[in-house]
Amino acid sequence: MNLLKRLLISTIIVILLSYFMPGVQVDKITTAVVVAVVLGLLNTFLKPILVFFTMPITFFTLELFLLVINTIIVLLCDYLVDGFDIDSFLTAMFFSVLLSVSEWVLYKFIKD
């Protein structure tokens, strides 16, 4: 049940961000669900590997390189999901920051 809540929250945030952010397009609601699932899978399986291999640069940049890793994951999701388009690297970075912060806030408010 908790997974479904998180998926629903992520889907709603993806839809809202695509509506309010120029440069981010989501064709349908089902595309937003797929984006939420793919982002969740990429964050679960690929992000730890990227963080591990970039640990020295992450350490020296005081963990600001994690923003680049999040952006790469969003751009990879853009590549993998048809109907989800992000115009530039900077737009993907803002999208990833806004998505992460808004998910964190909503997860704190909607606890079990």
Q: Going by DSSP bridges, is the β-strand pair 24-26/84-86 parallel, antiparallel, or unpaired?
A: antiparallel
Average pLDDT over every residue of 20-45: 95
CA 13 vs. chain centroid, Å, equals: 10
Q: Domain range holding 42?
A: 2-109
Q: What is the pLDDT of residues 48-103, one digit of tens each?
A: 999 999 999 999 999 999 999 999 999 999 999 999 999 999 999 999 999 999 99
Mean pLDDT score across all residues of the chain: 94
Number of domains in the chain: 1
Helix (H) or strand (E) holding 91: helix 89-109
- What 8-state DSSP symbol labels residue 85? E
- The confidence score (pLDDT) of residue 53 equals 96
- The confidence score (pLDDT) of residue 19 equals 95
Q: From CA 25, how far away is CA 58, in angstroms rounded?
A: 30
Q: From CA 39, how far away is CA 28, in angstroms rounded?
A: 16
Phi, psi of 25 (to 5 degrees): -125, 135
pLDDT class of 112 with cuts at 50, 70, 90: low
Beta strands in 1-112, from DSSP E residues, in sequence order: 24-26, 84-86
Closest CA to 14 of 1, 2, 25: 25
In this prediction, what percent of the chain has a pLDDT beyond 70? 98
**Burial, 97: exposed, middle or buried (Cβ in 10 Å; 0-12, 13-18, 19+)?**
middle
- The confidence score (pLDDT) of residue 1 equals 67
Q: Is the pLDDT of residue 110 over 90?
A: no
